[in-house]
Each structure stands twice: as structure tokens, then as C-alpha cells.
């Protein structure tokens, strides 16, 4: 039997092969244009929602960051508003001279020392709480006033710095002495009774 029909469709066709061709022929690939269902609308609908959401997230982060910075600055200049009592101001200043004054007098000397010095500035202007918020008002101040304020702030900060260094130094030194065994307590403990 000539089986050329299988290869190039010449010669005598085999009925079984023809039958198979008919069955499988329906599954073959035929190029035809894409037919979209009627309910599908062609065209891209642009949505701004993702962009708005991203912008909102970024804005939230920026606001959060600014808020954090604001808090951070305010911690540095704690309670800028007032040490209203001048006597208290004097007390604060004198208190910073001593590292360990008698415990009987209850004193609190803290960051308000900065404010004590700032109290000397002319009244009628609100105190600049932080750099970010205060810049607008800050520019309106005169040059000399600016320098005076800076100086007052620096002087007060210097007092604080000295106090902090005193405490830090004393504690470090104490640690060193204790570690080396030259602390009086340890010396007394190690002494033996004579006689």
C-alpha cells in the first residue's frame, strides 16, 4: 500500500486516516481575529488612588518625622516658658555651684537654668521654642538682640555643661577609685587591728 498520503497527501487516501483527520481536525489551530465579549469595555480607566495613597503615606511619614524632631528639640529646651520667680532663678544658679549640697534643702536644678538666663531678655516677645517653628519670628529680631539671646542661652548652657561634667567626672573617678581599691570604704575594710 502506498502511504504517500501520510506524508504529502498524494496517492490513495486511507479511509481510517481520513476519519482521524476529521476527528482531530476540529482541534487544530486556525488564525482568526480576537473576539472580545460584548460586556468587556476596551480602554484603560486611569485611577489616581495608588498615587494618592503613596502621597498620603509619604506625607504621614514627613509629619511624623517633623513631630519627632519637634519633640526632640523641646526635650533639649525643656520648659522654656517660665521660671517666674526671680528668687528661684537665683537659687538655681547658686545650686549649680555645688555638686552635692545638703539634702535637707530640696532643690531642683535642671534644664530650666537655660530659661533662667532667657528671662533677662526684654519682655513682650514670646520665647522661641524651637528652631523650626521660631524661624519666622527669629528673623524679625534685631542683630544685637539675637546675639544677646544667644549669649544668654550659651551662658546658661555652659553652666549646665559644667554641672554635667562635674557629675560625670565625679562618678567616673569614683568608679576608678573603687576599681583600684583606693576608695576609703574599701581601705577601712582591709585594715587589720594593731596590738
Partner 1 sequence: MRTLFKTMKLASLALLLGLSVSVTARAQNARIEMGQLDHLGAKASETVDVNIDERLMHLTAKFLSGKDPDEVKIKELVNGLKGIYVKSFEFERDGDYSQADIESIRLQLRSPAWSKILNVSSKKEGSVEVYLMSNAAQVGGLVVVATDLKELTIVNIVGPVDLEKLSQLEGQFGVPELGIERTKPKPKN
The residue ranges that bind partner 1 (CB under 8 A) are 47, 49-50, 53-54, 56-58, 60-61, 64-65, 68, 72-73, 75-78, 97, 99-101, 103-111, 114, 131, 150-151, 153-155, 157-158, 160-180, 182-186
Cα-based angle 186, 188, 191 (whole degrees, multiple of 5): 110
Classify residue 87 by burial, with Cβ atoms within 10 Å: 0-12, 13-18, 19+.
exposed
> For residues 47 and 87, which CB has a smaller minimum distance to partner 1 in the complex?
47
CB 140 → partner 1: shortest distance, Å? 21
> For residues 14 and 157, which CB has a smaller minimum distance to partner 1 in the complex?
157
**Is the Cα dihedral 20, 22, 26, 28 positive or negative?**
positive
Give dist(CA 80, CA 75) in Å, integer: 10
Give dist(CA 112, CA 156) in Å, integer: 9
CB 34 → partner 1: shortest distance, Å? 23
> For residues 20 and 54, which CB has a smaller minimum distance to partner 1 in the complex?
54
CB 19 → partner 1: shortest distance, Å? 48
Amino acid at each position: 500500500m502506498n502511504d504517500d498520503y501520510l506524508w504529502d497527501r498524494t496517492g490513495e487516501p486511507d479511509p481510517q486516516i481520513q476519519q482521524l483527520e476529521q476527528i482531530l481536525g476540529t482541534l487544530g489551530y486556525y488564525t482568526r481575529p480576537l473576539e472580545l465579549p460584548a460586556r468587556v469595555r476596551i480602554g484603560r480607566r486611569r485611577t489616581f488612588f495608588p498615587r494618592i495613597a503613596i502621597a498620603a503615606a509619604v506625607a504621614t511619614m514627613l509629619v511624623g518625622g517633623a513631630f519627632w524632631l519637634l519633640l526632640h528639640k523641646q526635650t533639649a529646651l525643656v520648659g522654656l516658658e517660665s521660671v517666674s520667680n526671680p528668687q528661684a532663678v537665683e537659687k538655681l544658679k547658686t545650686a549649680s555651684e555645688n555638686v552635692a549640697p545638703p539634702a535637707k534643702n530640696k532643690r531642683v536644678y535642671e534644664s530650666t537654668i537655660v530659661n533662667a538666663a532667657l528671662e533677662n531678655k526684654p519682655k513682650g516677645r514670646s520665647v522661641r521654642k524651637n528652631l523650626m517653628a521660631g524661624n519666622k519670628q527669629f528673623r524679625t529680631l534685631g542683630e544685637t538682640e539675637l546675639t544677646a539671646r544667644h549669649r544668654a542661652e550659651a551662658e546658661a548652657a555652659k553652666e549646665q555643661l559644667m554641672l554635667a561634667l562635674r557629675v560625670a567626672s565625679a562618678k567616673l573617678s569614683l568608679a576608678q577609685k573603687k576599681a583600684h581599691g583606693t576608695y576609703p570604704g574599701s581601705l577601712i575594710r582591709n585594715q587589720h587591728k594593731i596590738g
